[in-house]
Amino acid sequence: MNPRIRVAVGGVTGWAGSELARGVAHAPDMQLVAGLSRGAAGQPLAQLTGHADTPGVAAASIDVLAQTPCDVYVEYTKPAVAKHNILQALRHGAHVVVGTSGLSDQDYAEIDAAAHQAGRGVLACGNFAITVVLLQKFAEMAARHLDQWEIIDYAKAGKVDAPSGTVRELAYRLGQVRQPELTVPLDKVNGPVETRGASLSGTQVHAVRLPGYQLGVEVIFGADGQRLHLRHEAGDGSRPYVSGALLAIRKVHTLRGVVRGLDRVMEGL
């Protein structure tokens, strides 16, 4: 019988991290050994997860958390500290699954170098929902046949990182296929160039932050006399992300360096 995967969750009391922590605690092939939460530091993980057999207490910092050996660290905290947490986890010998948004391509280049040096894998997933995985695959297919596209990023009014990790990952992956065409170059725009959005990995991205939204992404492809809209909408709950995150935890040990996208470890996609 294989030993259980020892998992540490950063953001163990957060919107997504708390649901994942409960999923890990109840997974038969995993053991939640540590959790990171500044606000809940010192509180028993058993109390936070509702799983009586979960040992230990929440840690206030990655330096304290790293004192507990783990096989996989899941980063689900805040953009401002995410890179530091990931690099620290790699230094302490853990593979890393990234669910936090807001990391740039430059950040991932630095993380990739550290992961290769440590001989560890980093699986970065802007979104663990299967509908997002499918949207990304369909968008890559469309980009091979259609010359022009733009992305709209939807999120709640209080979301500070723009664009979201889902959109960053989507733009990056479309950029790996090819660069979209712009009929009017940005330096030829007659008016505030900001109205054309921000250029991310070669794609124009427009971030909407309003009440009434949770998370959403839409990529629009345009061609002569026709359009293709691919859109994902998320509800208020975080449970749809748990199964994908558990899959990432189970698969990240097979990787070396940074790999972006849950579909990279899903058979048949």
pLDDT at 205 over 80: yes
269: pLDDT confidence band, cut at 50, 70 and 90? low
46 versus 218: which is more confidently predicted?
A: 218
- Asked if residue 194 and residue 117 are part of one domain, the reply reads no
Domain that holds residue 74: 5-128+238-265
- Asked if residue 142 and residue 61 are part of one domain, the reply reads no
Kind of pairing between the strands at 5-10 and 30-36: parallel
Tell me the C-alpha distance between 75 and 162, whole Å: 18
Name which of 211, 142, 194 is nearest 170 in CA terms. 142
Burial of 213 (0-12, 13-18, 19+ CB in 10 A): middle
Helix (H), strand (E) at residue 222 = strand 215-223
pLDDT value for 219? 98
Alpha helices in 79-160 (DSSP H): 79-91, 105-118, 130-143
Name which of 256, 250, 251, 248 is nearest 127 in CA terms. 248
- Asked if residue 61 and residue 149 are part of one domain, the reply reads no
pLDDT value for 202? 96
- Asked if residue 182 and residue 116 are part of one domain, the reply reads no
Judge contact between 132 and 232, C-beta under 8 A: yes
Tell me the C-alpha distance between 77 and 12, whole Å: 8
127 versus 179: which is more confidently predicted?
A: 179
pLDDT at 52 over 80: no
* Phi and psi, residue 229, nearest 5°: -110, 125
pLDDT at 103 over 70: yes
CATH number at residue 245: 3.40.50.720
* Residue percentage of the chain with pLDDT more than 90: 62
C-alpha separations of 65 from 27, 34, 111, 159, 211 in Å:
21, 6, 19, 26, 35
pLDDT value for 237? 67
- Asked if residue 158 and residue 88 are part of one domain, the reply reads no
- Asked if residue 178 and residue 163 are part of one domain, the reply reads yes
pLDDT average, residue stretch 167-196 = 95
Domain count, the chain: 2
pLDDT at 46 over 90: no
- Asked if residue 202 and residue 173 are part of one domain, the reply reads yes
Q: Which residues contact 120 (CB under 8 A, 6 or more apart)?
A: 90, 93, 94, 95, 96, 256
pLDDT at 102 over 60: yes
pLDDT value for 268? 58
Phi-psi region of 93 (alpha: psi -120 to 50; beta: other; left: phi over 0): left
pLDDT value for 151? 98
Most confident of 8-17, 197-206, 260-269: 197-206
- Asked if residue 112 and residue 19 are part of one domain, the reply reads yes
CATH number at residue 177: 3.30.360.10
pLDDT at 45 over 90: no
pLDDT digits (tens, 9 = 90+) for 134-148: 999 999 999 999 999
Q: Which residues contact 121 (CB under 8 A, 6 or more apart)?
A: 95, 96, 115, 252, 253, 254, 255, 256, 257, 259
- Asked if residue 134 and residue 94 are part of one domain, the reply reads no
Among 43-52, 69-78, 82-91, 168-177, the least confident range: 43-52
- Asked if residue 170 and residue 46 are part of one domain, the reply reads no
- Asked if residue 215 and residue 200 are part of one domain, the reply reads yes
* Residue percentage of the chain with pLDDT more than 70: 99
Q: Which residues contact 268 (CB under 8 A, 6 or more apart)?
A: none
Rg of the chain over Cα atoms, rounded to whole angstroms, equals: 19
pLDDT average, residue stretch 226-255 = 90
pLDDT value for 1? 60
54: pLDDT confidence band, cut at 50, 70 and 90? confident
pLDDT value for 49? 76
- Asked if residue 249 and residue 150 are part of one domain, the reply reads no
The two structure tokens encoding residue 55: 């040992």
